Structure 1
């Protein structure tokens, strides 16, 4: 049995515990037999792979490839993943360039099929780069099996700074947030938005996000989330509101309200 992350309590207090113990827990998790076996196989085989078909037809290679980008639930969608990988990202009409979830773009871009040159699988260090991402994502999945809110918080801690810091327009950054299922769950909950909010016009969703961000963080710009303190405040509000919605977890209503007031 692989190592299971230790999460003795939920909510923001549980998040702070996970932050304090993350390095050690991740280290132990990475040494588990399952993770090591997956990555040893990937390292042995991936350098010989020259096509998307070879990845998709090998379950163990595909497991690591998808897991490294948080797409492990697509393991059964072989036709779709083959198309994403084989078309690559060079052509404007490539499937990965059209999908709202940019995880598929990152997957296709990392492997480099569909371009004029050799795929990136042939490059030195490719297996190590994918292995690093796989370890991080697999740990998140293990955390999520115990507490999905913690998994969503880990996702924000990893991905939001990258989106906030890129050179695209502010609207494009907010669209990237809205296009990520995990990130929009965090923002919607932190902003106190109802489930029906996701059904309204996308341009209006961006405007609401900007209004809520201005009220909560002092700026409507997505770029502000390059600041770790702003990301931590977002995570804190998400976890507290989620805890309230689920019936306060292990905290009393008074304790949760006090934590909220101290944000």
Structure 2
């Protein structure tokens, strides 16, 4: 039986429930037969993987590996993933370094197939990937019930990591902009239009910083290393998401009503 996350209500109330029950629900999911079987297989077999081709030819190993980085949808794209993994991350012109989605960079850096000895040969590697896979699997299960809740979990996990890093503030914002889930959270929390992503990257950075300064304590992304700031961001995101959904529903109902009224009027006039 597949694990199903429990989220009784949506919005911020649902988020607070998820926070309270997250640990218990995660442990329950990790004990589910399918996930436990995949984890055991990965732990037993990953040490035999020496290159990208070894990984790609084994469906379960590839599933766990991509799933650990939120890239499960790329399982059929074997040629693409092989190119990402084989070129690695060390060379400036490597394929993953040219992609805007930085999850591919994180994937290839973690495996290190461009090194003389890949990271798959390290004793701690399996534990590292399995832990990430379990977290991502829980986020996926939550997303099947409520996608906004999944994005909230991504903020807690990924934004904490970025905000706490020793990178420059500009580099941190660019990492957020290169993460589709984090970008969606910030754009929604800041009420930015869909066209925002078409702006020049430096202009986007400027807007994000200005919005952060107005809505929070500082224009710096580092402030989100603090749990209170992350919680406030998630709250703004969830509230604005609900408002947007309500507006879309109202507009759809209004359009339907206008069409019905127009149809009724034509009938009365004998059209």
User: Which stretch shows the higher mean deviation, 55-64 or 89-98?
Assistant: 89-98
Q: How many residues align?
A: 247
Q: Report the equivalent of 1:135.
A: 134
The offset of 1:125, in angstroms, is 2.1
Distance, in Å, in 1 between the alignment partners of 2:175 and 2:26 is 28
**2:224 matched to 1:219?**
no
Contact 1:100 1:176 in 2 (8 A): no
Cα deviation digits, residues 155-204 of structure 1 (max 9, x gap):
01101121112222211111111111000100000001111111111111
SS class of match (1:37): helix
Q: Report the equivalent of 2:89.
A: 89
Q: Report the equivalent of 2:124.
A: 125
Q: Report the equivalent of 1:59.
A: 59
Please list every run of 5 or more consecutive structure 2 residues that lacks an aligned counterpart in the other structure: 248-271
SS class of match (1:8): coil
Distance, in Å, in 2 between the alignment partners of 1:89 and 1:211 is 32
Distance, in Å, in 1 between the alignment partners of 2:55 and 2:10 is 38
Cα deviation digits, residues 77-134 of structure 1 (max 9, x gap):
111110111112222222122222221111111111011x211111112111111110
Q: Report the equivalent of 2:150.
A: 151
Q: Report the equivalent of 1:171.
A: 170
SS class of match (2:167): coil
Cα deviation digits, residues 43-93 of structure 1 (max 9, x gap):
121111101001011111100000001011111111111011111222222
TM-score (norm 1): 0.91
Distance, in Å, in 2 between the alignment partners of 1:229 and 1:171 is 22
CA RMSD, Structure 1 to Structure 2 (Å): 1.1
**2:57 matched to 1:68?**
no
Distance, in Å, in 2 between the alignment partners of 1:23 and 1:86 is 36
SS class of match (2:246): coil
Q: Report the equivalent of 1:80.
A: 80
Please list every run of 5 or more consecutive structure 1 residues that lacks an aligned counterpart in the other structure: 249-263
SS class of match (1:247): helix
SS class of match (1:246): helix
